[in-house]
Structure 1
Amino acid sequence: MMNIGILGTGFGAYHASLLNNHPKVNRIVVFGRNETKLQKLRKDLNVEVTQNIEDILLDSDVDVVDLCLPSHLHRSYAIDALKHGKHVFCETPVCLDLEDALLMQQAEKQYGKKILVNQFIKFD
């Protein structure tokens, strides 16, 4: 069973709806800034919600961080998640320049966790 923290309520809301009934997902916590969107997700999907990213990053029970924030924030939060012992599932584009990609790859090796990239566009 997996516990997943989702960062973002745009694509993150869609990811939460897909993961919500997956038999291997035990718990979902969604971070967002918009309280109205968060409460709708809590009501509709019965997921946990927070307006504090640290609630997810510091939660030792969260196994995977599903990163659905704007692309310019991906490097920072991916590396933070890896540093806190979480695998990362990252929405595309993963990063906006090669330097960010290399730093994310280095963090994978340093912290022993993986960044997986959403490749759904290949199948559209």
Structure 2
Amino acid sequence: MIKVAIIGAGFMGRMHAEVYRNLSKANLIAIADSDLEKAQLLADKHKANAYSSLEELTNQEDIDAVDICLPTFLHKECVIKAARLGKDILCEKPIALTLEDAEEMLQVAKKARVKLMIAQVIRFWQEYVILKKS
């Protein structure tokens, strides 16, 4: 079972938390948000622990992966921190604001030997599947 923490308790964090509820091979154990009250509300709903930062969370929890559901301008900092902590990463799209930031994020993840995956799900939407077949 993969132990997952969500970083960001906004709209996307809530959507991802709902998905984890239905995955048999993942266990959502923690949620972090700079607004601890928001993190606590989401954590309570999903029987997880709430934290105010990635650093606080990783000091308290043994997690395998981090799911970054933050605004794009915060992706780089969070991805690099998670990679340096040795955590696999799922990051919301877009990966970064600039190509240079994206390349740096990829290099840090590669050097840390962790997976960095982008949550690009529209390729699975029926409309895109049909277009690809055309």
> What TM-score, normalized to structure 1?
0.89
- Bigger shift: residues 89-98 or 17-26: 17-26
Listed as ranges, the matches of 1:106-121 within 5 Å are 106-121=107-122
| Unpaired segments ≥5 residues, structure 2 | 126-134
**Structure 1 residues 72 and 29: alpha-carbon distance in aligned structure 2, compared to 1, 3 A threshold:** same
| Unpaired segments ≥5 residues, structure 1 | none
Is contact 2:40–2:49 with CA below 8 Å preserved after alignment?
no
Structure 2 CA distance, aligned partners of 1:94 and 1:22?
24
Superposition RMSD on alpha carbons, in Å? 1.7
Is contact 2:36–2:50 with CA below 8 Å preserved after alignment?
no
Structure 2 CA distance, aligned partners of 1:9 and 1:19?
14
Is contact 1:6–1:29 with CA below 8 Å preserved after alignment?
yes
Q: Which residue of 1 aligns with 2:29?
A: 28
Residues 67-117 of structure 1 show CA distances to partners (whole Å, capped at 9, x for unaligned) of 111111111110110110001100001111111011011112211111001
- Bigger shift: residues 71-80 or 20-29: 20-29
Tell me which stretches of 4 or more aligned residues in structure 1 moved more than 3 Å. 57-60
Equivalent pairs counted in the alignment come to 124
> Once the 2 structures are TM-superposed, how far is the Cα of residue 27 of structure 1 from its aligned partner?
4.0
Higher helix share: 2
Question: Percent of aligned positions with the same letter in both sequences?
Answer: 35
